[in-house]
Amino acid sequence: MAESPVVVVFDPLPHFSYREERAILEAGGARLVVPATEAEARAAIADADVVVVTGRRRFTAAEVATLSRCVGVQTSSVGSDYVDPSLHDRGIPLRTAAGYCTEEVSDHAVALLLAAWRRIPMLDRAGRRAGWAGGAALTAPLRRLRGRTVGIVGLGRIGRMVAAKARGLGLEAVGHDPFLTAGAVAPTPLVDLDALLAAADAVVLCAPATAESRHLLDARRLALTRPGVILVNVARGGLVDEAALVAALDSGQVAVAALDVRELEPPTDGDPLADRPDTILTPHAAASSVEAVAELHEWTARGALDLLRAAGRL
């Protein structure tokens, strides 16, 4: 009898037991391997039929080169920017778990937007002080949300959901996405990125990380925004030039930056954004919920089985 195909988790998440993935894979006729160390993982992927990559570590060209019988890589996330492009050159299919956390990330984006717009964290700190001595937090001009414009960069599943939720709050939503047509994202109007930045009272980043989108918001583009703009990023930290963002916050061009993702994760000591009163920082937590994690376990395992079936390994 032929041996069962092997699915190897390259970079296991320490808080996952992989019990759910193991049960689904075994029921489908495959075997799951969860290496205990990085060295074990590098050895195991060489003979893996499918490799699961969570994004905890980058799946480099060196690792791709060791694959001898792999018929696909499945990510445990929406993104795939941590998988080296040489995988494509090898002709090995790549699947993501796109869609598993659309509700959560779009909720988080809107929550950050509201928290920044109403200065909730800043007012919370002021409200904890004797005499409500909050300084700038109490004197910052708070503006009505309804009728304002939010610009959404990236109108995939998450971006379109952010637009729908923003409209539900009475905001006008416009979007930019070079990969989609107006019909695909209706009723959100598609505009040029520079035009979006000039028109938006708040900008929400939902775009994927690619070579072209690195530092999409640099000093030049941040200067195009409306003075006092709100910036929300729930996509990838590398979309924003953080040095330019610091300067834009210092000048008041950006009033509040609400970021779930950072260029360096986790940030190191001395992070220039950490102790500012005009930033809201969450630790790459937008995708988290009990329901989303349950979906992720299932989607990861079923995606691996689909890759095996497509290659005739099952």
Q: Which residues are catalytic?
A: 236, 265, 284
Coil, strand or helix: which one is 280?
A: strand
CA distance 248 to 16: 39
* Of 65, 68, 72, 30, residue with least CA distance to 51: 72
Q: Residue 112: which residues within 8 A CB-CB, separation 6 or more?
A: 232, 234, 258, 260, 280, 282
Return the DSSP state at 278: T
Whether 14 and 38 have beta carbons less than 8 Å apart is answered as: no
* Residue with the two structure tokens 């072209």: 212
Return the DSSP state at 132: G
CA distance 314 to 310: 8
Q: Count Cβ atoms below 10 Å from residue 179 Cβ, excluding itself.
A: 10
Q: Which amino acid is at 24?
A: I
